Amino acid sequence: MFFRLFFTSLLLGATIILQLGKSPSPLAEPLLVLYGLITGIFLLSFIYAVILPRLKRGIIFAYVQIAIDTFVVTLIIFVTGSFASIFSFLYLVVIIYSSMLLYRKGIMVMAALCSIQYGIMVDLEYYDFINPFIMEGSVAAVHYPWSQVVFKILIIMVACFAVAFLSSLLSEQVRKTKKELLALEERVKRVEKLAYMGEMGAGMAHEIKNPLASLAGSIQILRKEIHYNPQHDKLMQIVLRETDRLSALVNNFLLFAKPQVAKVEKIKLDRALAETVKLFEKDGSCFGRVKITEDFAPDIWIEMDPMHLRQVLWNLLLNAAESIDGKGHIDMKMYPLKHNYAAIRIADNGCGMSRELLKSIFDPFFTTKPSGTGLGLSIVHSILESYNTWLEVESTVGKGTTITLPLKRIDPPTSP
């Protein structure tokens, strides 16, 4: 907005100064129009500044604002000579800064709008329907051959669309880079948060684990030594079950806080995936309820700890199965990517998640399941961080979730 004010004031101010040197009166008609243009631009900028903070849908306002700017540029060109004006390049300026606000489709719309306005204005001037202000030393379009007029219109049109295309490429690249930087920033913040919680929680987990083991052992000894009582035995079973559950929770937290040292091996990925799926299909969370379809590309190898890979896949499949209410299906696919990467994609038709929930899925103890611990995806994230990879999650409420895991490929071993 401030750039628009500065740029147009500079150009029109310089034009006014030049015209004052040639015009007999500072109130000549062309100068009055230029005064009005500068006043109008400042007034529009003030209106934009007042309206913008109150708008919820800024993209519509951006379209309206830039469209008005194209009309202002057309008026500037008209009052400075139309066909003979030196300010036709202002269309390109409008198109370039529109790329900062609009996507490619919108930029092309603005390029078309500029081209149409310029073509109509010059045609009307050529056929003597309008009489623009002709500056000293300039010649109106009506005095040029039709071929030269058409040629200039085409030049302006080609320039508008060429600049629109190039600036859209740059703006898309900038948006992509900005999105990647924001994602990287989120990952760094998450890692710092997890590292802090891991250091603090690891000590606490050890302190909890030792009394739990003593408690469970004492209950088992008492159960054997005291006289059998059905009511007491039932209470002891509850205590033992809950201590086992707490022990499993502590073990999971320790695994999240301090993952085991990786024993990296060369793994044939399709074989490892098929084995994990075969085991998971027999699990109670999946058996007879969820159908898993497989599509694995052959001859793709990675380097990873087999236990880490199995744990990652198991947690992802378990989350997918538990998100499905009743019967459903999970589509599991593995395929090669560019730059020596492969991807594992797990898609379910479960309940899905909102954008707000997606921001927290890797946070420790965050869960949407009544019986969940909220550590499954945190453990997965912690493991994958050690391999310099990540999860890409897409989800739609009521439709399901798709998780993509990129992994670095290696050359197949000479003797698999």
Residue pLDDT, tens place only, 397-415: 989 999 999 999 999 887 5
> What is the pLDDT, as a whole number, of residue 207?
65
Element (H, E) at 160: helix 146-225
HSE-CB for 255 with a 13 A CA cutoff: 20
Percent of the residues in the chain that have a pLDDT greater than 90, as a whole number: 27
> What is the pLDDT, as a whole number, of residue 78?
85
Query: Shortest CA distance to 89 belongs to which of 147, 141, 152, 21?
Result: 152
> What is the pLDDT, as a whole number, of residue 336?
94
> What is the pLDDT, as a whole number, of residue 253?
67
> What is the pLDDT, as a whole number, of residue 73?
87
Span 130-189, pLDDT tens digits: 887 665 555 666 677 888 889 999 999 999 999 999 999 988 888 888 888 887 887 777
End-to-end CA separation in angstroms for the chain: 64
Of 57-66, 155-164, 318-327, give the range with the top mean pLDDT: 155-164
Span 360-389, pLDDT tens digits: 888 777 777 766 666 778 888 888 888 889
Three-state secondary structure call for residue 145: coil
Query: Shortest CA distance to 345 belongs to which of 332, 354, 358?
Result: 332
Output the CA torsion 315→320→326→327 (10° steps). Answer: -110
Residues 6+ apart with CB under 8 A from 319: 376, 377
| pTM for the full predicted model | 0.51
Three-state secondary structure call for residue 291: strand
pLDDT at 394 over 90: yes
Residue 334 buriedness (CB in 10 A; 0-12 / 13-18 / 19+)? buried
> What is the pLDDT, as a whole number, of residue 385?
83
Residues 6+ apart with CB under 8 A from 54: none
Q: What mean pLDDT comes out for the span 266-282?
A: 93
> What is the pLDDT, as a whole number, of residue 157?
94
> What is the pLDDT, as a whole number, of residue 42?
74
**Beta strands, E only, 354-415:** 392-396, 400-410
**Beta strands, E only, 75-116:** none
Residues 6+ apart with CB under 8 A from 23: 30, 31
pLDDT at 261 over 70: no
Q: DSSP H helical segments within 226-370, as ranges?
A: 230-257, 269-280, 306-322, 355-358
Rounded to whole angstroms, the Cα distance separating 71 from 98 reads: 14
